[in-house]
Structure 1
Amino acid sequence: MKNDIASTNTTASVSLHILPFILVGSFLSIFDQFVINVAAPAIMASLHPSAAAFEGIMSGYALIYGMGLIAGGRLGDRFGRRRTYRIGLLLFAATSLLCGCAQTAGQLVLARLLQGLSGAVMVPQVLALIRVSYEGKTRVQALSAFGVSIGLGQIMGQVLGGWIPAWNILGFGWRMIFLANMPICLIAAIGCTSLPLDPNAAYEARHNQLGNPLRLFRYRGYAIGILLNVCLYAAIVPFFVVLGLYLQNICRLAPQTAGLVFMAVGTGFVLASSAGPTLMRKFAPPRVLIYGTICTSAGILAVLLGTIMGQSTAIPFVILALFLLGLGNGTVIPIATGVVLRYLPIADAGVGGAILTTGQQLAGALGIMLAGEFLMGDGIPIDSPTAYVDGLSLQVCAASAALCCAISLSRISSVQDM
């Protein structure tokens, strides 16, 4: 049985040349989450924030971003994805300017909160625009490119977060990590002018059941796909936080060097995402989904086993494990995203994508809280490898749950493609 959802699955024919402008939103959302982690020492030395202000600078963006995604997706469904996306880009540029011009810690906290709000308007439109603008093989290519944009955001966020403050471009120091967003957003806003206004989908969204987004979970594939993504992000996001401490406290690496080690994850992600269309042609998508989740789980498990077996300071071993993790992430995330969205009518693509991203954000935040409790709650010194065993074990469990979801989702996809 094919999964057909009435007549709302009509897609526009849009050139792939416009896709990079669409993907700016997903790239910047990841970049601005990762770059702040590595740039934190430079910001602290400049603004001298209190403990509360520091937490606001680090987590305020993600908090407001996660809380506003569903509303942002609904705005796109109601008023048009292209229009809402371009407004989001302009707002992101303006709030990035506010971040770069902040003179006190309090000002930066407020600017980060506003930046998160603008991200919540911008990001849900990315997946929605892919969903309504491309179909068939072209959509597979677009989703693979979406994965590449996330991988690049990870790589450049970790690396440039350490190096931009050191370069002190034009004397702006750490402020350039925010100011650099402005020209990128403006170019993308101009480049998206040729996208269709999708008036039909906007009309349907206004006249269909927009009241309760929970109704979308009646689509079984969508519900399991959300759970798969939640488990993946509950494993991946805290793993990166733990790994940052691990590389600096156990492997004794400088922040800039630790950022370079993170490139192993991003490199694997980009390679796997780029190979996505080829893999989809050669193998059945459900099989690729399972193999990707296995690689992700194996990468985290390798770091855990290395810690237990005394290989915690063997950088080549860590890099190999991270590359395996990146290959898994780059394979499974674009495919899982595509499978999730295929179960929804076009009129619900924005809010459906927003629910997906909200689940990812909340799962990552919860995973960080639990990992921090395991990491620091036992009184074991943070520079001891033993302190990292429980946190890494938790992330292995989350990745294993993701594998179970991938198996279930692959069975659903196999039945519906019959």
Structure 2
Amino acid sequence: MTAAFMDLVDVTIVNIAIPAIQRDEGASFSHIQWITAGYALAFAAGLITGGRLGDIHGRKRVFLIGIAGFTVASALCGLAVNPDMLVASRILQGATAALMVPQVLSIVHATFPAHERGKVFGLFGAVVGLGAVSGPLLGALLTQWNLFGLEWRPIFLINLPVGVLGLVLGRRFITESKAPQALKLDLVGVALVTGGLLMLLYPLTHGRELGWPMWGYASMVGAFAVFVALVAYERRKARQDGSPLVELSLFRVKSFAAGIAVQTVFGIGLGIFFLVWTLYMQIGLGWSPLRAGLTGVPFSIAVSVAAGVSVQMLVPRFGRKVLQAGALTMAAGVLLYIWEADHFGADVTPWQMALPLVFMGIGMGLIVAPLTDAILSEVPRQHAGSASGLINTVQQMGNALGLGLVSVVFFGVVDERVPRAALGEEFANGFENALSYVVVVLLVIFGLMFLLPRKPAGTGLEAGTAADEGPVDPAAGAPATAPGGSAGTVQEDAQRRKVLTH
């Protein structure tokens, strides 16, 4: 939870400080995009590999390496002497986060039985909300206070004590776990996944600045060919030695496949909204970082409360309807925000923004925690790392796609050469245009949610799934237990399932 909190705070804290970075370092709009998209790109490209490394070498070990690397990369971001060094350090930060973050969900999945996971993911949702509240406020305060004359740099340096705390807590309290069978890292799969993602996301993020060259379109088309080759190779790899990087059998689990589709599209919407929202408030409306950060508090509180309520109380009773209600509620909030931006223009106040942000926060909270639970509920424990890596990968890939689309849906509308006095109106127009795409994304998500199970396993209605209850004693017709009535350790359960499977 400490690592999940640190990762989320780092993303949101950077968003609120971007205008200050642009002003103090002379960063271009391309640099602005790459400070956020570079992190997302490296994160997305490394998550599947990071998840699989946890399965192979131990989730605790890889987690600790990741959190140590993330802390060092944060220090480099804080010490960056120019925008290029900051972008490079953010890419390193994303790569180390790709080792750290997948272990969070896989450790939870390997540690807790299905009927307890709802409570854990409720806590996870609350941590998400707390991080979403803390990030913008910390970013605003640290930027505005200009501690020791360091300007925006403390937003990265604050990760150092949190990272050290995470290392100490991790070494003390996390129990080691890994896949029961000996797996090997699929290096060809790593190359194909990383290459395909870079071919897709780099031209999308950089294309507008370069004038949309033909090689960019060719690269994006070629990326899909790489992904087709990846699927074919991973199938052959699974037949040969059972150690593919991407466990394609997971996509035969309906809840997993449907949830992955929802997660990808949801990431696109969030990638568009959060960057555009920050630019609109601070550059378009001319608000201070603190004012912009405080404006987001109603949204963050609503996310935190709704996430906890959805998993604990609503999903066990209403199933996927809760997630669909979340998508529609969030879309209603975005539509109200568009109307306010058009009606009030540059005179809009934080108080007027509170209502649409509460709607959006409630909608997001109804989606984030139960969606993760639904995706992982029927996944076998031995593939927890691979599944967690895929969940985070598609979310970050969607996020990076959304950040890349900002070039089209926001900067494509804004004329950066207008006088300062007219910049607010330009940014308002770009904001409304970008949010109209977010509404479309949310309606697509609502449709995709019909593919989710009506009542996801592990919501509290069932004792657990077949993947989690352990082997069934054919004579008794009930889950076998260890001597003394105990279900045994995670590793023992996994080993029993492996023997029974063979």
Interval containing the TM-score (normalised by the shorter chain): 0.7 to 0.9
1:26-175 superposed matches below 5 A: 26-49=4-27, 53-175=31-153
Q: Which residue of 1 aligns with 2:262?
A: 228
Of 264-273 and 208-217, more deviation after overlay is shown by: 208-217
For 1:389 and 1:56, the matched residues in 2 are separated by 23
In the TM superposition, residue 197 of structure 1 has moved relative to its aligned partner by: 1.4
Alpha-carbon distance, 1:145 to partner: 1.7
Pick the structure with greater CA Rg.
Answer: 2
Q: What is the CA–CA distance in structure 2 between the aligned matches of 1:284 and 1:186, rounded to whole Å? A: 41
Matched, 1:338 2:338: no
Q: For 2:18 and 2:352, locate their aligned partners in 1 and report how far apart those are by CA, in whole Å.
A: 27
**What is the TM-score of this pair, normalised by structure 1?**
0.85
Amino acid at match of 2:176: L
Q: Which residue of 2 aligns with 1:18?
A: none
Q: 2:434 aligns with which of 391, 409, 415?
A: 391
Give the partner amino acid of 1:300: V
1:17 is matched with none
Gaps of 5+ in 2: 185-240, 416-421, 463-502
Aligned-pair CA distance for 1:37: 2.2
Cα distance in structure 1, aligned partners of 2:151 and 2:411: 32
Q: How does 1:355-366 map to 2 (within 5 A)?
A: 355-366=390-401
Is 1:302 paired with 2:336?
yes
Aligned-residue Cα RMSD (Å) equals 2.7
Equivalent residue of 2:296, what SS? helix
Aligned match of 1:13: none
Query: In the alignment, does 2:252 pair up with 1:213?
Result: no
- Distance in 1 separating the partners of 2:383 and 2:402: 28
1:243 aligns with 2:221: no
* Aligned mates of 1:330, 1:122 — CA distance in 2: 23
What CA distance in whole angstroms lies between the structure 2 residues aligned with 1:107 and 1:171?
Answer: 20
Aligned-pair CA distance for 1:81: 0.9
Opposite residue 122 of structure 1, the aligned amino acid is M
Residue 323 (structure 1) shift: 1.0
Gaps of 5+ in 1: 1-22
Q: What is the deviation of 1:245?
A: 3.1
Output one character per residue of 1:60-81: Cα deviation in whole Å (capped at 9) or x when no partner.
Answer: 2222111111111111111111
Contact 1:61 1:115 survives alignment (8 Å): yes
CA distance in 1, matches of 2:44, 2:352: 34
Deviation for aligned residue 1:107: 3.0
Structure 2 counterpart SS, 1:203: coil
* Secondary structure, counterpart of 1:338 in structure 2: helix
What is the aligned-residue identity percentage? 29
Alpha-carbon offset, residue 281 of structure 1: 7.3
**For 1:351-383, what per-residue CA distance to the aligned partner results, in whole angstroms no more than 9, with x for missing partners?**
211111111112122223334423343466753
CA contact (8 A) 1:299 1:322 kept: yes
Shift of 1:410: 3.9
Which residue type is aligned with residue 287 of structure 1?
K
Between 213-222 and 116-125, the greater mean CA deviation after superposition: 213-222
Superposition deviation, residue 28 in structure 1: 1.8
Change (3 A) 1:169 1:102: same
Letter in 2 for 1:153: G
Q: Which string of whole-angstrom CA distances, capped at 9 and with x for unpartnered residues, describes residues 3-52 of structure 1?
A: xxxxxxxxxxxxxxxxxxxx122222222222122223433454444665
Change (3 A) 1:331 1:52: closer
Q: Is the 8 A contact 2:271 2:401 kept in 1?
A: no
- The aligned residue for residue 354 of structure 1 is 389
Matches within 5 A, 1:263-302: 263-280=297-314, 283-302=317-336
Q: Aligned partners of 1:44 and 1:307: how far apart in 2?
A: 24
- Change in CA separation of 1:105 and 1:241 when aligned onto 2, cut-off 3 Å: closer
Shift, 1:293, TM fit: 2.4
SS of 1:247's partner is: helix
Amino acid at match of 2:269: A
Cα distance in 1, alignment partners of residues 305 and 123 from structure 2: 11
Report SS of the residue matched to 1:173. coil
User: Is residue 159 of structure 2 the alignment partner of residue 181 of structure 1?
Assistant: yes
2:451 is matched with which residue? 408
Which segment drifts farther, 277-286 or 118-127? 277-286
Is 1:259 matched up with 2:302? no
- The equivalent of 1:373 in structure 2 is 408
Does the residue aligned with 1:191 lie in a helix, a strand or coil? helix
